[in-house]
Amino acid sequence: MRTSDPRAAARPAALLGDQRGAIAVIGLFAVVFLVGVLYLVLGAGRAIRHQERMQDAADATSFTAAVVHARAMNLIALARMVKLGVATAQEEGGAAEVVRRAADRLEEVLRARAGAIALERARALVLPDYAPPAQELSPWPAPAPLPEAPGGAGEPLGGEGFQLRLVIRGGPLDTLGERGVRTAALMADEDAGRVGALRAALSRVSVAQAEYYFDGPQQEAPMLWHMEWRARLRRVRFPGGALPPELAALSGAWGEWMVH
C-alpha cells in the first residue's frame, strides 16, 4: 500500500507563499525606467548646450559684423577729417593731392566692401570658435552698402540699412534623448512624427540681429564727421514678415509646432 508524502503536498502551498526574489522583479523594471530617465536627462542637457552654442555663434558673428560696419563708418569720418585738415592748412601740391585721393579712395572702398569684409571676418575669426555645432553662416538679407547720408534725408538711424541679420547653419542635434525614450519603452518602435522632424530641423538653424548706430547728436553733419559709431545686438525682427530660406521651408509647420 502506497502512502502519500505530506511534504510533497505542502510544496505547492509553500511555493505560493514564498516571496524570495520579488524585489529582483521590481528592480528589473526600476532599472529599465531609470536608464530611460538617465538618457532623457543627458539628452536634454546636450540639447540645451547645442542650442546655446548655436545661438552664441549667431550673436557673436552678427555683433562682429556690426562692429566692422561701425569701424568702417569711423574710418570714413577720419578720412573726411584728414581731407578737412589738408584743406584748412591750405596745402597744395602733389602730397596734398595724394592725401585727398587716398581719403576718397578709402571711403569708396569702405562703402562698397564693408559688408563683404564683415562677413569674411565673422566667418574666419569667430565662427570656428563655435564649431561644432556651428558650420556656416549667411546674411539675410544681404548687407546694404554703408549709407552716404545717414539721418536727415538719408537712411534713418535704426532703419533696415543699419541692421545686420546672420543665419547660422549647424550640425544635427544628438539623438541621445530619443534613444533613451526607446530604451524606456523596451525598444518599442516610436516615430517622432512631423513635430520631431521640425524640432530636428530647427536645431540646425539659429538667427541673430545686430545694428551699427551713431552714439551722438542725431544730426546728419555730426554723424559724418565724428568717430562715434558703435554696434549692439537687437531683438530679431524679420522685415515684412519674410523668413530666411532656412526657415521659410518650415513655415507651414509653425502651427503644429505651437500646438504641441
Q: Given this model, what pLDDT does residue 256 score?
A: 43
Q: What digits encode the pLDDT tens for the residues 31-49?
A: 888 887 887 788 778 888 8
| Residue that wins the pLDDT comparison between 185 and 64 | 64
218-230: average pLDDT:
81
Task: Indicate the pLDDT class of residue 194, thresholds 50, 70 and 90.
Answer: low
Contact yes or no for 230/185 (Cβ under 8 A): no
% of residues, the chain, pLDDT over 90: 31
Task: Indicate the pLDDT class of residue 128, thresholds 50, 70 and 90.
Answer: very high
Q: Given this model, what pLDDT does residue 257 score?
A: 41
The pLDDT of residue 145 is above 80:
yes
In 141-156, which positions are buried (b, 16+ CB within 10 angstroms) versus exposed (e)? Answer: eebbebbeebbeeebe
The pLDDT of residue 50 is above 70:
yes
% of residues, the chain, pLDDT over 70: 72
Q: What digits encode the pLDDT tens for the residues 24-35?
A: 888 888 888 888
Query: 0.85 exceeded by the pTM?
Result: no
Mean pLDDT over each residue of the chain, to the nearest integer: 79
Rounded distance, CA 214 to CA 146, Å?
13
3-state class of 89 per DSSP? coil
Task: Indicate the pLDDT class of residue 93, thresholds 50, 70 and 90.
Answer: low
Output the furthest CA–CA distance in the chain (Å, rounded).
142
pLDDT winner (highest mean) among 1-5, 12-16, 187-191:
12-16
Backbone angles phi, psi at 170, to 5 degrees: -135, -175
